[in-house]
Structures are given as structure tokens and as C-alpha cells.
Structure 1
Amino acid sequence: MTTLSEEDSAPGQGPLSILTAKEIALSGLAFLALAVLYFHDMVGGEFIFGGGDLISFFIPYRMLWLEQVGDFTFPLWNPYILSGNPLFATLQPAILYPLSLLFIAFPFVLAVNLTVILHYALAGWFMYLLMRASHCGRGAALVSALIFMFGGYLVTVRIYLSTFMPVAWIPLLLLCFFSGLRKRDLRWGLAASTVGACMFFAGGVETCFQMFGLLVVFALWPQGLFPREPVPTWRWRLSYLGAFLAVFFGLIAVQFFPTYELSKLTERAGGLPIGEAARWSMMPKDLLQFLMLDPYGYLTRSEGFGNNQVWLRSLYVGAIPFLLAGLAVFRGGRQAGVCAGVALLSALVAMGPAGGLYSLLHATVPFLDTFRYPVKFILPAVVALALLAGWGWDGFVRSAGSAPTAQNKRAHVWIGLATAGMVLFGLINAFEPAIQSAMQNRGMVPPAYNEVRINLFNSKRLLVFLSLFCLMLFFFLRAERKPRRWLGAALFVLALDLVFSGYGFHHKVPIDDFEATDPLTRFMQTHAGKERIYIADNAERAKDGGIAKVNLRGNLIQGPKVPLPIRTVPGIYQADGWAVMRQNRYLKFRKILRVPPFENRLNLLRLANVQYIVSRDPLESPNLQPVEFHDPSYPELKVYKNTDFLPRAFMVGECRVVADEKHIIAKLLDGRTDFSRQVILEQPPEGFECTGDDNPETPSPHPVGSVADLVLDYGSVTLTATTSRPQLLVLSDAYYPGWTATLDGKDLPLYRANLVFRAVVVPAGTHRIRFEYRPWSFRLGGGITLVTIVLCGAFLLKPKRRHANTNAIPVTPS
């Protein structure tokens, strides 16, 4: 068994015993400096990070919740899209994520950039600490940190903040969880629960799902990772796992309950069919991205990116990490073998149905059928590869002082690999025209592949770095004086390969372009006021099933359907909108807005308080008035004013009770229905008799009274209603659990109206009516979270009990 150095195996200490406070602090500062240098062009305030989902979803949501916090309102509700939709419950705004304080402490653009830079630094730093805590040397820790920090996976996910931010915390989660398990110390388990809660608050539902699954497995089978260490009894392990999960769910309850409530009302409730869930699976050819830089042009050609799966842009780590991981596995330790097995299973699941495992898991594992894009499940393989490479380096360095014969054999292997790489480089260089021609004849050209010349260049690049690395290790084994300088040179080669594989590929947007307001947004900000707008599907969908290209706040976005810039600007009320988590009922309402004939759709838009309609195709109706509007970027866009829209809140004198959703939709699609006189309810209202019948020709009573003093806030609507007889007040805001109504300060039953809107019964007289969003899910979850924090605090303040065995445990870096 390999003996650890005295520095690395202080007996009787915790998992960070080999680390001094000085090394922890200096390593953190070093990784922060490295991240700042990597993104040096993003710290001056001239640019903001851009890219698809970042600019379409994550940045607008942060702008909105900051606006609400600035008005001293907790951001629970988004009143601007889909006639109102939950904001906090969608998880994407990451409102409770601790590092979201950056958006309060710094100007918005700087906060966005610091978010990306800081999480790059945390990813590297936490991986370094994890490897050092597992008794690896500094060089091994640096190897793993560089691979995790600068590998292609983070290049891919940095535009998806809900994935990118929690991924950075994974090494710290593993460190805390397994430290508590090995040392029998619940305090580390509480730390792991806190880290997991941070990951969840950052939006990392899928990340937590994957990592927690592995934690459960290895809590029940710790011998898989720690084969040479004594492990606690199974009862203690179950108790530890139970405490970890209980504290985690207690901490996240304030977010979990609202998110779960929304998830049960979305199109994903009950699970997605495998055809929808398995969209954007990895293909076997995508595995080449680990070894070769940008073989399919995802990084350099946005059009090529769109023609293939559109989530995974890069996985590049190069050949060196695989070489080191091979060393770890070759040494035969169970720890390395299990880790390699995790990587293999991860890759098979990421391939979706083609990998064989995903279909089985989709049908059997709870909640897995609610996730889309199997490609996301490559994450455990990325983490495992970084760990294996670090272990491989550590094993190589520790075995360097072995017998001269064995060391000579190893030296021959390294010089042989270096020579083979240089020979291959020479052959490609010598026969490059012939190789180019052969690749073109085999169809290895865009759009399926990157440019032939680029792929050949990247092939030579791969061989150069691999050869140099092997040569440095050869010199290390043969050097008689200061051999460790050659290890430093090898690390430098690895760092160069990784850093420059993704350097400069981040999408940066000039601030002036990001902050510029497009003509359509300016028009609606001036004219729409408190009324809603509607953007027809044809305005954002490419013609004839092609690919639309849109400049979205300085970002070139393309796809079969892309949002107009107005979608990214809070403050404009819309009857539709872009959101990841949406009520399924409202999606059905939005779908019937596209059902011909147009006059029937216009009747529904009238009901939804739509004053302006944006369309690429011409629209004709006596109630539509063309507006003089022109946007040079969208010359085909047309804007129409609906002169017959209903107010946001209005009175009706008659109702009809229809419990079946299909019949409600049929009634909505009947163009003869006069929504200004009759409302469709799903249950009889208290204090009002519904007398409507099936015949739309039957005259309905004219409504009487008025609505005045309408005040719209983020999570409330207040108005004054005056009527001479009992009537129903219809509010064309989305119905959702948690909305309450009061009349003159007293609770009032709230009803779902016209499939997706709200209605209340108003008695005769003048009354002040208030609608307010006060979800029980948030209050219940908040109470549980508060109790959990108090209990954890009390536990931590108790006198410390010794749970750990103070005897040193021999460790091998297998």
C-alpha cells in the first residue's frame, strides 16, 4: 500500500486536515484570479454575457424580480406574460439563491458577468478542495480542478444558469457528504444539506436529482468508493442519509412547495411521453467531442449548431485527461473502477433511447419522466472524468520513486507515446491535401461536420498537446536534478490545452446593443398602457418551416421559432409569452387562439383584454385598425389596434355552469358567444343563479354598473365596483391557486371563469374589491424552512460530540 506523506496524513484530523487555512484562502483567490483572467474582457462594463436562453429567459426574469424587490414586493407573481404566471415558483429566477445577492449589490450588467465568472472560480476551487480532502497532492488537485473548470461542459452550460450555477457546487457537496459519512459527523451532513439547498435554489432540480441519486447509492454502499476504510454500521448510514435528506427538504421547502404546486398544473404533470422527453439525446458521435475540439462546428458555426442537437455545444477535455484516467483505472483500485462505471452509465443514459438504459429509467424511476433532454445526464461522467484524471496523476507521481527497472519501463512508454503523437502529426501535415479530399468524398463536411481544414487543424492540435505532455512526463522520470519542474511543465501543457479550447467562445454583447430598445417595444410602452398585446404565432415562426434568425438585444438567435425582442422586456402586459413552466390550462387557451376562423379568435382576444395584435400576415376585420408602424429589422411585422376589446375587469349579468373542459372550449370557440354579457363558470357561484342556456341566440341581460379605480400591482389587483343588482365581476387575469378575493375587506369566493380567468359575485352597491396572490404553498414551505433553520442552529450550538475515529486511516490513491 502506498504510504502518504507526513504532510498529507495528519492523524486524528478532519477531512480538510491536510489543508491549512492559508492554502484554502490562497487557492480560492488563485482560482478567482484565473477566472477573471479567462474572462478579462467581461469585467470592464463594456459587454454583457449573451447567448440563447441566457438572454431569452434568465436575464429577463432577473430584471423582473429586481424590479419587484426595488418596490419592496416579494417577487411571487409575473403579471406581464400569459395573462399572469407564477414567477418565484418557476425556480429559474433563483430568487433565494445566496449568490443572487450580487444583483442587489452591483449594477445589473456587472452582476450578470460576475455570476458567470464567480461560478467558474467556484467550480475549480471546490474541485481542488475535494481532491485535497481525499488526500491527493496539490498537482492532482490542480489537474481535476482545471478539467472541471475549463472543460467543454461549462462552456456548454454557462448560458443555462439553472444548470451552470448548481454544477459549480457539486465538488463541495461530495466533499461535505462523504466527509460526514467517513468521519461519522452529522455536522458535515448538515453542511452537505446546505450546499444541496443552494444548488436547488439556483434552479438545479435535475442536477440535484442526478447527484443525490449517487449519494444515496454510495451511502448504502460506501465500500464502492472507500474499499480500504472501515465504514459505519448500516443503521448509522441510514440515519445519516435520512438526516441529510430531511434537512435538505426542510431547507428547500419554501421553494419546493410552490414549485411542486406549479409542476402539477403544467404540461409535464403526469410525465412526458418518451418521444418528447428524449428530445436532444446525445448521439454516439457526440462522444468524440470529449477528445476533439469542435468536430461538428457547434462552437464556431451557429447554423451547424442548430442542425444538430442544440443543447450540448462542447464536451472537450482533450486526450490528456483520458490518459490520466486510464492510469487510475489500470492500477485496478475499486474506487477508480466504480467511478469509471458511473461515467459509462452516465453516457448511456445521456444517449436516450439509443443507449438502452434511458427508456427503462423513464418508465420506472419516479419523476424522471418529467425531465427533458437526456443529454443533461452526461454530468456524472464529466465529474467522474475529472476525479479519475486527478487520481491518475496522483498515482503516477507517488509511484515515481519505485524500482529503477519499473521506472525505466514507464519512461519508455511515455517517450513512445510522445514519439507516436509527433509521427502522426507529421503524417497529417505531409498528406493534408489527400486527407482533405478523402474526408470531403466521405461527406465529412458542413453542416454535419465542421470545416475539413478546421478539423484537421484541431487533430494536429490534439497531437501536439498530447506529445508535449508525454514528453514532459518522460523528462520527469529521467531527470536527476529538480525533476518536479517537469511536472510543472506538464501541468502547464494541460492548462494551455484546456484554457484555450474554450477561450473567446463566450458570447459577449456590447452594452449599447443590450440596452437599446427596439421599435416594437417602444411603440407598446407608449401606447399599450395597462391593456394587453398579443403576438401571433406567425410573427415569431420562420416561413415554410425554415430557420428564423433574429437579433435579440445584440444576440443572433435562430431556430424554427424565436422570440421577438419585446419578449425580454418586463412591463408590457401580454396575453401569451415565453416561459418554461406554464399552466397547462392556459396553454390550451393559447392553442385555441390559433384555431380558424380569425373572427372567432378575435372574439377570444377581445375577452383577454387584447388591445394590440402583432402579426406578420395581414389581418382583416371591421374591429381591427391598422397602425402606422415600421421596424427595419422586421419589415413584415404589422400592428393592429383592436377597437372592441373588453376591459381588464368588467361586469356581466349572466353565467352558465359547464363542468367539462371540452365543452367549455367548444363554447369559447363559438363566435356567437358574447363574453361581455355571459361568463362560463365550472361550479355554481354562491349568491347568484346561473340561468344561461346552450343557445347563443338567446339574449342575455345587459350588464349594469361600472368598474373604476383599477390599480394593478405585481401580486394584487384592486378596484371599485358599482352595481344596482347582484352581478359577476370578470377579471381577465389568469386563475391560479393562491389567488384570493375580498369585498370590502371580507373574504369572497373566487371562481375560474372562461376556462382560465377569474370571477367573483358582486352584490348591489359600491364595493372595494381586492384580488391578492397569497399562496398557501409559499407560507407552508416558509414555515417549514424557518423551523428547519432553527433546529439546525440549535443542533450546531450544542457542545460538540466526537463522532470520528481518531486513528489514522491508510489511504491509497487508487
Structure 2
Amino acid sequence: MRLEMQQEQAHSVRKILKEKELYLLVLAGVLFFYRPLFLGETFFFRDLLYDFIPQKQMLLDFASRGEWPLWDIYRHGGQPYFADPNNSVFHPANLLFFVLPFFRAFNLILVGHALLYLIAAYLLTRVLGFSPKASLISAAMYGFCGCTLSLINLYGRFLAMSYLPLLLLGWHLFLLERKRRWFVFSVIFGVLQVLCGAPEVNVICMLTLLGWSLCFPYQQPLLRKLALWLLLNIFVIGIASIQLFPTIEMALHSSRGSGMEYWEFASSSLRLKRLPEIIVPNFFGYVDQLPFETFYWGYILRDGYDYPYILNIYFGAVALLFGLFGGLDSRRDTLLTRPLRRMLLGIFVTALLLSLGRFLPGFTLVYRIPMITLFRYPIKFLLAGLLPLSLLTGYAAEQIFSDSQRNTPLRLALYVCSTFAIALAAVFALIPAFADLAMQFFFEHAPDEFMTESLRQALTHVAAVLLLTTLCVWMMPSRTRLAQWGLAGIILFDLLFAGMNINPSTPEKMLTEIPPAVQVVRQQIGGGRLFRMDSPQDIQLYASSSDIIWSFRWGLETLDRYFGAFYRLPVIFHDDYVGLAQRHIVNLKGMAKTLPWSQKLPILNMSGVTAIITPERLQIDGLEHVSELPNRSNALFHLYHLNASRIHFVTSWETAQTDEDTISRVAFSSFNPTRQVVLHPYQPPMLFERLSRWQADLPTFPASRQQECVAAEITRKTETSHAAEFQVTSSCEGFLVFSEPFYPGWRVYANGERLPIYRANLAFSAVYLPQGTFHIERRYLPLSLFFGAIVSVGFLGIGGVFLSRRSIGASRQKNN
């Protein structure tokens, strides 16, 4: 009977799209994001400004120069652009950047996917048989909970999670109706999810589909469902290979590819003291105001980062209570079967436990699971519980709407919880000693007036929401329609109120005005790179207001971290937040940050650094003090010029067998990268290069040589982001050394003949040249992209044949 109802519901999608509850959800979303939509403001917070805004702007730069988005010259000394999954190069949403002003497109992509959360979850629950108001509650929970809103500043993960309800919807209808179009529907959204660049979300979603397939009473036998699920994964991976192959290659050369230590993997775990934030809005404070220590009073528990990886984990007391009762409901013949609800509850509880990470006893065993470090931070496991909890919340609301008399345990639980919440709010407000003790326990520092008042309001909010929910449930039998709208409105308001401060926005001009320091650095950097030392710890900002934008604006003005790349200044030796920088560059970065300047300069010189920003006033031979950099703080920064080049011809070399041996040679003041180089033995090409059947004919030269020779003449002819041409003339044999990271995909030709590339000075590259004059071509042509494209096209062709055979078969059947 239930399957028949859902099959009937599946055919009324057009009717669902006209329901007023859906329009109310969309309207709530538009009003919630009114500032970036209508007031000329933009999202910017944290990772958006560090990573996603400049990288999307770079995509437009490639297009304006008529170049393929192959190589990013601005970060980590150079790294693949399209291969970085965070850049999501192949996602179709990027087309908006080519037809709209940049920030208009950027905000529309984010808000559009925020609305997609609501629409997709609403469609899924309505097809499952939920009533419109129960679907409204479930969709609001999925789209507006604190965890979902926190993903906005993580961009790719936010986009990827919006496709989960649609992926599950297509999969459910495919197994229900056994029509190929729904399989294609599932593949499309599975591929879109992969192209967002959030691999941990892909794993979460596919495992959710597997659990759903096994627990929902479809007519297919178990083995057939498993086979179909496996086929779905094969098609998704196959079509998305154009992104996956290059990403895998990039990861193998990254610090993440060399393994992740337990301490790093478990660093961003959900602390036990943070759990009250699930039901108390803004329990740890607010992220949109300065000073940081005043407005975000949970700063001591933030694992050393500016803010937690997931800023807010608020679900709300009502949603959590409904979800738990929805999962524990013992009735059999209901909207969702009991095994399915147990599975959903199990996913949520497991996700919550795993998100505790190192605070969960025995979590070291989880670390030993193969590929588990794909999640990188344990708190990401929490994402797996979002859709299950929202479905269970909507299910419980549906049970109350349909038969409130049978939900006496839930009604009693609401009564008890609301009474307790009222009592707690009263005690916190009326007994200062209790409030102080509680705040010192959770936040480990003395409270101030603002913290106390904010938490008092938050506890009052929880008590009011629970009380109003209890009243709505108790009045359900007599005034059902009013109570239903009341309950939906309470949950929607609760989530929107709690999420108001998670994603601050700012006028676009705050990000488009170019600071004076940028102009100064551009004059000095030439064709080199920027290196910036870390800022002092005791920075005091001179901000115009308490808005958090001034902290980021100060970072832009001083080119902090890797903000130089924001202004198209090539940067090297900055923090590797995503773990995808070339691992040898990361090793050199640690040396460049910690060694004395006498040992630091050779490393910077061989890395092509020409501009240095540091808070230190230095008097060192080889460094020219250019100017002080004005900024809105009490700190003083100095700009220095270093006479370096990104290409050298050296006639003295030696070979090192290990990385440690190389480090011991280059990290000395006597090492001169303009005259000598430390080489590593030639490394055979990786998988994709081997598939091309190209093998290097290794030149014969001594393992080491110390000689003096007249400096070679190097003339740069043409250069793009992924290719360059030089004219090199030398009277001696030697090595042409490039300060570009050693990566597969780079090719060097001398007078049209391809040369083998050696790893040089730990992280960079070099080619051997005999004496003479050579026309050198250097370009980046990654075969991983080529083979990935072939596999993607192949799977698209298979899918086309799959559909065409169905169409031909249907046509023949109709003619017969």
C-alpha cells in the first residue's frame, strides 16, 4: 500500500512545485539572504576569501587571456589549477561567471544552492508521502540548520550537500518505478556532486544511498540492489574521471598524499563541551564581530584555528527531539518503515559520535580504516547526519499531524523539556553564581557582561521555542490547521534566528579596492615571487567598526598568509590549508619560516623570491629595504627586495640520494643557487606518463662537478601561465634550473627534442644541456587530464547508447 502511494505521489511532481509551503520556503530563503541578493554585498567569510573568491576570479583571468585553466602560478610557487578539486573547474555553475558581474554570479551560485537545499528536500519528502507542512519542516531543518549554513564558507562542500536529496530522490524513484530515466537522473546529480570537489561528501552520500537501498522495502532482491548501486558508482566515477584523474595525481604529490599523522587527522574534533550548541543558539558566541575574544567566547576550545572548521552545529531542541522520537517510534505500518527509520537514526548517532574524533574513546581504531583520512577532520562526519535527522524530524511532525493522540510519549517529553528549559533559563538569570560557574566550566575563562547577557537570551529563546511547540502539539486535536502552521513557523523561525550571524556579508568595494601595499609590491616583484613572514601575535587593529570584515581587510592590506594571490602576486611558502601543495614545497616552507636569515636567503633565492614582507627590520647583505607598508594596526611591516630569478643556468652540480641530504646542502649561507644545484636521481614517469609510451634517453654526465664558466645568456621570448620559450646560450655543459615545483605533466624541449626532467634543490626542476645554443620550450600538458577526458567521454558514450537503445526499443514497441 505504501509503495503504491509513493508511486502515485511520484507522478505529481508538477503539482508539488505549485504548493504554497514550497513557495514559503523559497521566500524565507530569499529574505534570509537579502543582503547579498539585493544590497550589493557579498559573502566573504574565511575560506571564501582565502580560497574560493580568488580562485574563481582566476578562472576568468584564464578566459580573458585565452588560456586553458591548467596551471596556477600564484600559489605554492605553482601548482595544477584544474586538478585542485576546490577549484571545481568543470562544475556548470561556473558559466554564470562569464555572463554576470563576478560577485553577482558568486552570490547567486551560493544562494541558488541554498534554495536548492530547500526545494530538493521538500520534493524528496513529498514524494515519500509527507504532507506539505511536514515537508516544510523537514526541508527547513536540512537547509537552515547551523551545520548547513556553516558550509557556505566551505563552498564546494556546501554545493555538494545540496545535491544529496536529489540524488536520493532519483535513486528512490529508479528502484520504485524501475525506469532508466531515474537512473540517469541519479547519475547526473552524482556527477555534479563529484565536480564540486568534496570527496568526503561523495562517500557520505553513496553510503547513505546504500543504507537506504538495503532498508527500504523495494521489490528488487538484495543482490540486484547492490549490483545497481555499484553500477551507479561506476557511472558517476567514470563520467567524472576528467576531474578525478588529475586530482588523484595531484594528491599523490601533495603532503596529504604522503600520509596524514593522527594528530593532524584528529585535530578538528567536536569537543564535548560544544555539544550544548546543538540546542542552544550561538552557544560559543558570534563570528561576525570584533574583538574576537569578546564576541566569540569559545575561542579557547577552537583547536588552534581562528574559528572551528564548522562554525555552528545548531539543530534546535525541537528538531532534535522530533528526530529522536521519529527514529525510535516502534510503529510498523507508517510513513517510513521501522528498519528505515532505525537506519536513519543510526546514521545520525554514528555521525555525531565520529565527529567527536579524538574525544571519543578508541578513535585511534577509526584512524586505521583505509582511506579514512579522506575526511581529514572528524567534525566532517557530522555532515552524514543532516539529511537523516531532517527526514526523522519531518516524520515525527507528520505523525503528530496525522494522529496526535498516539504521540503521548512525545507530548510528555515536550512538556518535561520545556519545563526544564524554563527552569534552567530562570536559574541562569536569577542566580549569578550559577551562571558564572557554568560559563567558566564550558568556556574555561571568566565571563563578561556581554557573554552573560547573550547566553541568558539564548536560554530564554530555547525555553520559549519549547513552550510554544508544546502548546501547538497540545492544541492539535481541536485546532489542527492552526497548530500545524504554528509548529512549522516555530521551527522555521528558530532555525533562521539561530543562523543570522553565521555568514556575514560586506559591500563589494571592501574587496575590490586595491590597498597601497599591493602597488608597492607589484613594482618590486618583477617576474619573481612574494614571501611573507608570519605576523606578530599581539596585533591590535585600528578598525572603523566592530565588523569582522576589518580583520580580513587588514589581511588584504598587509598581504597576510597567501592574500598576495588575491591580487595576482605569485606567493610561495605559505600555509597549506587544504593539504594539496607539493610536499617538498611544504618541507621548504617550514625551513623558510624558521631558519635564521643567513640560511633562509639561499632557499628564497632558489625559489625565485624577489619580494619579502616581514615585521623585522633587517640589515643583511643581498636584501634591499624598499619601504614600510602602511596598515590599520599597531604592527609595522617592511618590504625588502631580493635579486633572484626563476630560471638559472648552473655549471656546478652534485647528486643527493635522499631529501635529508639535499636539505643539509641547500640550507647553508654558502649555497649559491645561481651557480650550483643539488639534483636527485632521475625518477621514471608516473602512471599517465608511462601510458604515453615515452621513455627518456638519459644523458651521460658526471654525478657531480664543480666548475666555473662564463655566465650563460638566457633570453625569455614568450610566457603564459603554463608555457614559456627561452633562448639559452652557454659555453659549458650544465643544468637549466627552473624554480617551478617538480610535477608530472611538465615537458621541456630543446630544439624540438624532449628532455628528461630532474628534481632539483628538493622541490624544483632542471634539465641537462650541453654547451651550445638552444631554443627551449617548457609547457604543462598533463596526461592525467587527457586520459580522464577519454574515460569521461567513453562513459558518456556508453550512457548515450544505453538511452538510445531504450528509445529505439520504445519506438519499435509503439509501432508494433
Q: TM-score range by the shorter chain?
A: 0.7 to 0.9
For 1:394, the aligned partner's letter is E
Task: Please tell me whether the aligned partners of residues 16 and 126 of structure 2 are also in contact (alpha carbons under 8 angstroms).
Answer: no
1:108-160: per-residue Cα shift (whole Å, max 9, x none)?
11122112211110111111111112122112211110111111112221111
User: 1:68 pairs with 62, 67, 92, which one?
Assistant: 62
Give how far 1:762 is off.
Answer: 3.1
| SS in structure 1 at match of 2:669 | coil
Q: Distance in 1 between matches of 2:620 and 2:96?
A: 50
For 1:655, the aligned partner's letter is W
For 1:681, the aligned partner's letter is L
Q: 1:136 to 1:9 in 2, by over 3 A?
A: farther
Q: Distance in 2 between matches of 1:453 and 1:552?
A: 21
Residues 283-322 of structure 1 aligned to structure 2 (within 5 Å):
283-299=271-287, 302-303=292-293, 304-309=297-302, 310-322=308-320
* Greater mean deviation of Cα atoms: 268-277 or 24-33: 24-33
1:660-692: per-residue Cα shift (whole Å, max 9, x none)?
222121121233233222222223794452363
Residues 551-700 of structure 1 aligned to structure 2 (within 5 Å):
554-556=550-552, 563-564=560-561, 566-579=563-576, 580=578, 581-594=580-593, 596-633=595-632, 635-643=635-643, 645=644, 647-683=645-681, 686-687=698-699, 689-690=701-702, 692=704, 700=707
Task: Please tell me whether the aligned partners of residues 582 and 741 of structure 2 are also in contact (alpha carbons under 8 angstroms).
Answer: no
Task: Please tell me whether the aligned partners of residues 400 and 473 of structure 2 are also in contact (alpha carbons under 8 angstroms).
Answer: no
Q: 1:307 to 1:214 in 2, by over 3 A?
A: same
Residues 91-102 of structure 1 aligned to structure 2 (within 5 Å):
91-102=85-96
For 2:624, the aligned partner's letter is Q
Give how far 1:413 is off.
Answer: 7.5
Q: Distance in 2 between matches of 1:255 and 1:547?
A: 43
Q: Is it true that 1:236 corresponds to 2:240 in the alignment?
A: no
Give how far 1:575 is off.
Answer: 3.0
Corresponding position of 2:351: 346
* Greater mean deviation of Cα atoms: 599-608 or 119-128: 599-608
User: 1:542 pairs with 534, 537, 541, which one?
Assistant: 537
Task: Please tell me whether the aligned partners of residues 688 and 761 of structure 1 are also in contact (alpha carbons under 8 angstroms).
Answer: no
Q: Distance in 1 between matches of 2:553 and 2:317?
A: 33
Q: Distance in 2 between matches of 1:291 and 1:470?
A: 16
| SS in structure 1 at match of 2:13 | coil
Q: Distance in 2 between matches of 1:567 and 1:664?
A: 29
User: 2:721 pairs with 714, 717, 736, which one?
Assistant: 714
Give how far 1:578 is off.
Answer: 4.3
Q: Distance in 2 between matches of 1:423 and 1:349?
A: 31
* Greater mean deviation of Cα atoms: 185-194 or 731-740: 185-194
Q: 1:624 to 1:474 in 2, by over 3 A?
A: same
Q: Distance in 2 between matches of 1:533 and 1:254?
A: 32
Aligned length: 767
Q: Distance in 1 between matches of 2:394 and 2:658?
A: 61
Task: Please tell me whether the aligned partners of residues 190 and 244 of structure 1 are also in contact (alpha carbons under 8 angstroms).
Answer: no
| SS in structure 2 at match of 1:593 | helix
For 1:567, the aligned partner's letter is G
Q: Distance in 2 between matches of 1:687 and 1:768?
A: 18
Q: Is it true that 1:375 corresponds to 2:379 in the alignment?
A: yes
Residues 246-257 of structure 1 aligned to structure 2 (within 5 Å):
246-257=234-245
* Greater mean deviation of Cα atoms: 242-251 or 490-499: 490-499
Q: 1:253 to 1:549 in 2, by over 3 A?
A: farther
Task: Please tell me whether the aligned partners of residues 176 and 191 of structure 1 are also in contact (alpha carbons under 8 angstroms).
Answer: yes
Corresponding position of 1:522: 519
Give how far 1:376 is off.
Answer: 0.9
1:562-609: per-residue Cα shift (whole Å, max 9, x none)?
935743424212232344210111111222324544222212222222
Corresponding position of 2:329: 331
Q: Distance in 1 between matches of 2:414 and 2:661?
A: 74
Task: Please tell me whether the aligned partners of residues 727 and 761 of structure 1 are also in contact (alpha carbons under 8 angstroms).
Answer: yes
Corresponding position of 2:434: 438
Give how far 1:261 is off.
Answer: 0.9
Q: 1:553 to 1:66 in 2, by over 3 A?
A: farther
Give how far 1:419 is off.
Answer: 6.6
Q: 1:649 to 1:505 in 2, by over 3 A?
A: closer
For 2:266, the aligned partner's letter is A
Q: Distance in 1 between matches of 2:631 and 2:218?
A: 71
Task: Please tell me whether the aligned partners of residues 657 and 690 of structure 1 are also in contact (alpha carbons under 8 angstroms).
Answer: no
| SS in structure 1 at match of 2:66 | coil
Residues 37-52 of structure 1 aligned to structure 2 (within 5 Å):
37-44=31-38, 46-52=40-46
Q: 1:345 to 1:428 in 2, by over 3 A?
A: closer
Q: Distance in 2 between matches of 1:131 and 1:540?
A: 50
Residues 678-757 of structure 1 aligned to structure 2 (within 5 Å):
678-683=676-681, 686-687=698-699, 689-690=701-702, 692=704, 700-757=707-764
Task: Please tell me whether the aligned partners of residues 27 and 125 of structure 1 are also in contact (alpha carbons under 8 angstroms).
Answer: no
1:675-725: per-residue Cα shift (whole Å, max 9, x none)?
2222222237944523635xxxxx522244301134331111221212344
Task: Please tell me whether the aligned partners of residues 541 and 551 of structure 2 are also in contact (alpha carbons under 8 angstroms).
Answer: no
Give how far 1:167 is off.
Answer: 1.1
Corresponding position of 2:335: none
Q: 1:549 to 1:687 in 2, by over 3 A?
A: farther
Any unmatched runs of 5+ in structure 1? 401-405, 694-698, 804-814
Give how far 1:38 is off.
Answer: 0.8
Any unmatched runs of 5+ in structure 2? 303-307, 331-337, 683-696, 811-816
| SS in structure 1 at match of 2:476 | helix
Q: 1:24 to 1:795 in 2, by over 3 A?
A: farther
Q: TM-score, normalised by structure 1?
A: 0.87
Q: Distance in 2 between matches of 1:577 and 1:157?
A: 24
For 1:324, the aligned partner's letter is F
| SS in structure 1 at match of 2:90 | coil
For the aligned residue pairs, the C-alpha RMSD in angstroms reads: 3.1
Corresponding position of 1:808: none
Q: Distance in 2 between matches of 1:667 and 1:625?
A: 25
Corresponding position of 2:200: 206
Q: Distance in 2 between matches of 1:768 and 1:29?
A: 64
| SS in structure 1 at match of 2:86 | coil
| SS in structure 2 at match of 1:20 | helix
Task: Please tell me whether the aligned partners of residues 254 and 778 of structure 1 are also in contact (alpha carbons under 8 angstroms).
Answer: yes
Q: Distance in 2 between matches of 1:270 and 1:413?
A: 51
Q: 1:197 to 1:664 in 2, by over 3 A?
A: same
* Greater mean deviation of Cα atoms: 773-782 or 788-797: 788-797
Give how far 1:558 is off.
Answer: 11
Q: Is it true that 1:159 corresponds to 2:166 in the alignment?
A: no
Task: Please tell me whether the aligned partners of residues 531 and 573 of structure 1 are also in contact (alpha carbons under 8 angstroms).
Answer: yes
Q: Is it true that 1:774 corresponds to 2:761 in the alignment?
A: no
* Greater mean deviation of Cα atoms: 736-745 or 671-680: 671-680
Q: Distance in 2 between matches of 1:148 and 1:316?
A: 11
For 2:224, the aligned partner's letter is W
Q: Distance in 2 between matches of 1:46 and 1:143?
A: 31
Task: Please tell me whether the aligned partners of residues 753 and 759 of structure 1 are also in contact (alpha carbons under 8 angstroms).
Answer: yes
For 1:240, the aligned partner's letter is L
Q: Distance in 2 between matches of 1:40 and 1:189?
A: 36
Give how far 1:55 is off.
Answer: 0.9
1:460-482: per-residue Cα shift (whole Å, max 9, x none)?
21121222222223223123xxx
For 1:235, the aligned partner's letter is L
Corresponding position of 2:334: none
Q: Distance in 1 between matches of 2:126 and 2:247?
A: 37
Q: Distance in 2 between matches of 1:429 and 1:355?
A: 30
Give how far 1:747 is off.
Answer: 1.9
Give how far 1:798 is off.
Answer: 2.3
1:80-115: per-residue Cα shift (whole Å, max 9, x none)?
222211222121111111222222222111122112
Larger RCO: 1 or 2 (CA < 8 Å, sep 6+):
1
Question: How many percent identity over aligned positions?
Answer: 20
